[in-house]
Amino acid sequence: MTHNVTEIFPYRLERAGVLMQPEPSEPDEAEGVLNPAAGWSDGGLYLLPRLVASGNVSRIGLARVVVTDGRPTRVERLGVVLEPDRTWERGPGNAGVEDPRVTWIPRLGLHVMTYVAYGAAGPRTALATSSDLRTWRRLGPVVYRWEEDVEVDLNLHHNKDTLFLPEPVTAPDGELSFAVLHRPMELPEVSGRDARESIWMSFVPVAEVERDVRALTVWRGHRFVTGPQFDWEALKIGGGPPPVRVPEGWLLLHHGVTGHLEAGTDQQQNVHYAAGAMILDADAPWRVVRRTSQPLLAPESEEERAGIVPNVVFPTAIVDVEGSLFVFYGMADSSIGVARLIRDL
């Protein structure tokens, strides 16, 4: 599906430095710190980085972000908040709680984390909630309600890059719902949609979650949102940070991938990840109204080009710092960078 594309997009990204790099004395960081979530709690800004130990074992850490002259400049490590200690987070040759995205949902008074549980069944989406970013309650793996008109059972496919919108929306079925973006993997080609990995949206009725927060793990109303459209995202796309409300609608940063994927390899060496953006309709966020034809940020710095997986810019968090929006992103699966999001028009 082709969406409204203009050469002028009202937002751009400007690099603001490297925020976090692996600490040589920390075994949990032997294979990198990357792809963080972030949020505010009790007046402080916190980063929740993915920490990768030897053997591709991932944990989710916590660090306080130090802000200098209105800009995030460094972090103070506070330990680990989520370990891969459930059976569905551990496989025979790997273990992981990976790539967290955290959305503060005022209606629930909770931070909602989506993360990749990398167990024996492969990468599956799981959820956890917290009131303070420090103590997390697991809700378990996500279940996708089967719906005949979708043509596929999403429970049979791995899923990554999942993120909740912060405010309820009226779903296509008319029910007030929490909306969640996600990226199913290895879907068949059906109904004229190609098989490249793309962005979807599902919904959870607010009323069910307010009765029992565990209902957040049962997703329904699955809709294809958009797939790869331009050369810089020819292999696949996926959502980045939870969307933020802007005058034009919902701003969603996403990543686009080119290159070649090696089957059975976790840490790819022949891919190129860049960051772009799209505007989702304010009232119907499953509709894309504008998107970038070129990346807003592509691997150019040394930290973005050389690392565990070279040539990667992977945005995963947006925060408001003293009235300016900053994006935290993974750099070559090894370090964490920060960029300022600037509105030009």
Q: What is the mean pLDDT of residues 234-260?
A: 96
The average confidence (pLDDT) of the chain is 94
Q: What is the mean pLDDT of residues 291-303?
A: 97
What pTM does this model have?
0.95
Q: What is the mean pLDDT of residues 123-131?
A: 97
- What pLDDT is attached to residue 270? 77
Q: How is 241-300 classified by DSSP, letter by letter?
A: SPPEEETTEEEEEEEEEEE-PPTT-SS-SSEEEEEEEEEEPSS-TTSEEEE-SS-SB-S-
- What pLDDT is attached to residue 189? 86
3-class DSSP state for residue 320? strand
- pLDDT confidence tier of residue 271, bands split at 50, 70 and 90: confident
How far is CA 283 from each of CA 107, 134, 172, 206, 212, rounded to the nearest angstrom?
Answer: 17, 33, 10, 16, 26
pLDDT in tens, 157-212: 999 999 999 999 999 999 999 999 999 999 998 877 888 999 999 999 999 999 99
- Does pLDDT of 7 surpass 70? no
- What pLDDT is attached to residue 32? 96
Q: What are the structural domains of the chain?
A: 19-343 (2.115.10.20)
Q: Which residue has the higher pLDDT, 308 or 145?
A: 145
Q: What is the mean pLDDT of residues 318-335?
A: 97
Q: What is the mean pLDDT of residues 294-322?
A: 96
Residue with tokens 């995205």: 101
Q: How open is the CA angle 189-191-196, to the nearest 5 degrees? A: 35
Contact call for residues 271 and 261 (beta carbons, < 8 A): yes
- Does pLDDT of 4 surpass 60? no
- pLDDT confidence tier of residue 61, bands split at 50, 70 and 90: very high
- What pLDDT is attached to residue 287? 98
- What pLDDT is attached to residue 262? 67
- Does pLDDT of 67 surpass 70? yes
Number of Cβ within a 10 Å radius of residue 8: 7
Contact call for residues 124 and 117 (beta carbons, < 8 A): yes
What is the Cβ-side half-sphere exposure of residue 238, based on CA atoms within 13 angstroms?
22
- What pLDDT is attached to residue 265? 58
pLDDT in tens, 106-126: 999 999 999 999 999 889 999
- What pLDDT is attached to residue 219? 98
- What pLDDT is attached to residue 192? 74
Q: What is the mean pLDDT of residues 285-292?
A: 97
Number of Cβ within a 10 Å radius of residue 118: 27
Contact call for residues 324 and 340 (beta carbons, < 8 A): yes
- pLDDT confidence tier of residue 1, bands split at 50, 70 and 90: very low
43 Ramachandran zone, left/alpha/beta (phi>0; psi -120 to 50): left
- Does pLDDT of 264 surpass 70? no
- What pLDDT is attached to residue 6? 46
